[in-house]
Structures are given as C-alpha cells and as structure tokens.
Structure 1
Amino acid sequence: MSGINKVILVGHLGKDPEVRHLEGGVSVASFPLATSETYNKEGRKIEQTEWHNIVMWRGLADVASKYLQKGKLVYIEGKLRTRSFEDKEGHKKYTTEVVAENFTMLGRKSDFENGTSNNNHTPNNGLNKQEEQPMTYDQNSPNDDLPF
C-alpha cells in the first residue's frame, strides 16, 4: 500500500508571488501563505497563525504571477516536499514546502481581474452570480491561458 501526501490550505498571501524562469523557460513561483485559526484559552480568544512556503510550477506559476497578490485569499491543494540546500557558509539546511497542484482564487472575480484589486466595488442587494463563482486553476488543465 502506498502513502498519501495531500495538503489543503485556505489562507492569505503574505507577499506577491516571486517568479523565476529556469532553463528551458520553466516558470516557478513562490510565496508565503498565512493560515489562521482561533481558539479560546481561559476565556480569551487566541488567534494562531501558521506560515507555509508555497511553490507553483509552469502554467500554474504563470497564472499565479498574473492574478495573485499580497493579501488575497486562496484555496490551495498540493503536496508536502522537503528539500535540502547549502547556505552561504556551506551548512546543509532543510526546508519544507507545499508544491501546489491547483488553486482557487476566493473572493469576487473583479478582485482578480488584470491582477489588480478592485477596492471601489460597491455592494448591491442583487449580487451578480458571475462574481460569486470562485476561479480555479489546475496544473493539469488543458487550457493554460486563463484560470476562469
């Protein structure tokens, strides 16, 4: 029997994705993602925030660089990977990352259009159904142009 390596996160980007282009034009994007949970301790509400290192490859990285930015709320599915590297002093270091396989941009569609936030959105009583739909992008999606 093989194991399962599955991560599901909903959180806010800690900063804009950093995108690098490797040999052969392969794109890789990385950014921190904050997830928070609250609990009561001795009658006080405590909020605990965890930071996760997110990595996205190829088409997923390209879409992330266009549409994701600091503060945006996203749903991410992926796998945990631990890798090692040498620091400047030659010491071996380890880091654990979430390698994203797909993500869904949460919030209104207008929040993600052209990679900019629409802070001037005026709420109305008859919410536009199109704006309520989450936008999802999957690494294995046949259409690499747009996530929606």
Structure 2
Amino acid sequence: MSVNKVILVGRLGRDPETRYMPSGDAVTNFPLATDEKWRDKSGQQQTKTEWHNITLYGKLGEIASQYLRKGNQVFIEGRIQSRKYTGKDNVERLAYDIIGNEMKMLGSRDDGAGSDRNSYGSHGAAPVASVPTSSPAPTQRQPHQYQQSPPVSDDIDDDIPF
C-alpha cells in the first residue's frame, strides 16, 4: 500500500492563472507560500518560506480563478506529482507540483482571520467540486461522508490511569 497525500495551508503568491484544454476543461495554476517559524538558540525569531506550485482542474480550478486573489489564505488537499523539464541552461531538472482535489478558502490578506467562508472539494456539506486522485482528468466525485467528532470537554476525569 502507498499513500500520496498533501495538506497545505498558505497564502497565494499571485492571482490564479486559468487556461483551457482542447476538451474545454479548465487548468488553474498558482504559487502557494507556507511559512515555518521558530526561535534560534539566541532567541531570535526565524522564518522559512516554502513555495508550492498548485494545479487545480475542472470546476475546482474555475472556482479558484473566480474567488482567489494574491494574498488570500487557502487550504489545499491533493497529491504530489513530479515532472522533468529542461532549464534555460540546458540542464534537466525535476519539479514537484501539488495537484489539488480539495480547496477551502480560509480568509484574505485584509481580514487575516481564519473565517470559514467557503469550502470546495470532497468533504463536508459545502458545494462540491473535486478532481479524482487517480488521474489528472477533471471529473466530479461524490463527497465522502465523515462523522463530526464530539466537542472536546474541559472537564477531564481524574480516573485516567496515566
């Protein structure tokens, strides 16, 4: 068994760009930045930013193109796909793309809040637009039914044996 699953929460580095394949299906691309923050030994805060190439197909790509803008915070779930290309210096390189099959808009640069505005993809009761994980050809998939976990209680019994 193998698993190829990626979950990212980050901000768009530029507005999404949408192109259409000869079949009429949309392909939308945008860079997504994720940050890691920590304090070094001297107590100074350090930040490292990773950039991810995101590709969304079909209706999901069209929704992203319509609603997302540079700086928006977004949740992306999908899979990693590698591709080879030849650079300007004639050296063959390897790039990694994230093929998204679920997207959730979390907030914008202006509000900075994690508002739960819209959810698109394979989970929940929000409008569904998704891409199957087995192939890049865009089609719709039935939403998975997940049970919501019970709320966490602050009253924890002292009968726990550890």
TM-score, normalised on structure 1? 0.73
Query: 1:47-58 counterparts in 2 under 5 A?
Result: 47-58=47-58
Q: Deviations over 1:126-146 (max 9, x none)?
A: xxxxxx43311111466xxxx
Q: Kindly indicate which of the two structures has a greater share of residues assigned to strand.
A: 1
Alpha carbons of 1:22 and 1:88: their partners in 2 closer, same or farther (altered >3 Å)?
farther
Alignment partner for residue 134 of structure 1, among 99, 117, 122?
117
Deviation at 1:89, TM superposition (A): 6.6
Structure 2: gaps (5+ residues): 122-129, 131-139, 143-162
Asked whether the equivalents of residues 105 and 116 of structure 2 are also in contact (C-alpha less than 8 Å), the reply is no
The residue number in structure 2 matching 1:60 is 60
Deviation at 1:90, TM superposition (A): 5.7
Deviation at 1:24, TM superposition (A): 0.8
RMSD of aligned Cα (Å): 2.3
Query: 1:92-107 counterparts in 2 under 5 A?
Result: 92-107=92-107
Structure 1: gaps (5+ residues): 112-116, 122-131, 143-148
Deviation at 1:93, TM superposition (A): 3.0
Query: 1:1-148 counterparts in 2 under 5 A?
Result: 2-41=1-40, 42-87=42-87, 91-107=91-107, 132-138=115-121, 139=130, 140=140
- Paired residues, what number? 122
Inter-partner Cα distance in structure 1 for 2:22 and 2:88: 23
Deviation at 1:47, TM superposition (A): 1.2
Task: For CA contacts below 8 A with separation 6 or more, give which structure has more relative contact order.
Answer: 1
Q: Kindly indicate which of the two structures has a greater share of residues assigned to helix.
A: 1
Q: Deviations over 1:77-96 (max 9, x none)?
A: 01000012345676533210
Alpha carbons of 1:43 and 1:104: their partners in 2 closer, same or farther (altered >3 Å)?
same
Alpha carbons of 1:46 and 1:91: their partners in 2 closer, same or farther (altered >3 Å)?
closer
Report which of the two structures shows the higher radius of gyration computed on alpha carbons. Answer: 2
Q: Which amino acid letter does the alignment assign opposite residue 10 of structure 2?
A: G
Q: Deviations over 1:31-50 (max 9, x none)?
A: 10001121000210111111
Deviation at 1:65, TM superposition (A): 0.5
TM-score, normalised on structure 2? 0.67
